[in-house]
Structure 1
Amino acid sequence: MKMMKTKLAIMTLLLAGSAWLSGCEQEGPAEQAGENIDEATEEAGERMEESGERMQERVD
């Protein structure tokens, strides 16, 4: 009987752990918004760098 309870406890922990890990992979709206902000910031930085290079070329 004790062995059965131990196996049941282990199976319950494994099932709960796998359910928790599968829930971690879902992307929520806040994470998507953060990714959009990151992309926009990166694009803005690239455009500013290109603009700076063009200005440097005109000065030279």
Structure 2
Amino acid sequence: MIDRLKGLLNLDKSEIMCVGDGANDVSMFRKCDLKIAFCAKEILKKEATHCVDVKDLREILNFIR
């Protein structure tokens, strides 16, 4: 889905933010530069550029440029 939207919207990897919480999100994280692990498993935290460990999605706003 990310690849399709990248093509349709002519976006670069640097313009995409991914948010995930588990190992199933690792492949998605590899398609974007801004990777936020949200209340995530350790395996995903290792792949993330930022981690949010509180259950409040508003915390993600701190990372949007």
TM-score normalized with structure 2 length? 0.17
* Structure with greater strand share of residues: 2
Rg (Cα) greater in structure? 1
Structure with more relative contact order (C-alpha pairs < 8 Å, separation 6 or more): 2
TM-score normalized with structure 1 length? 0.17
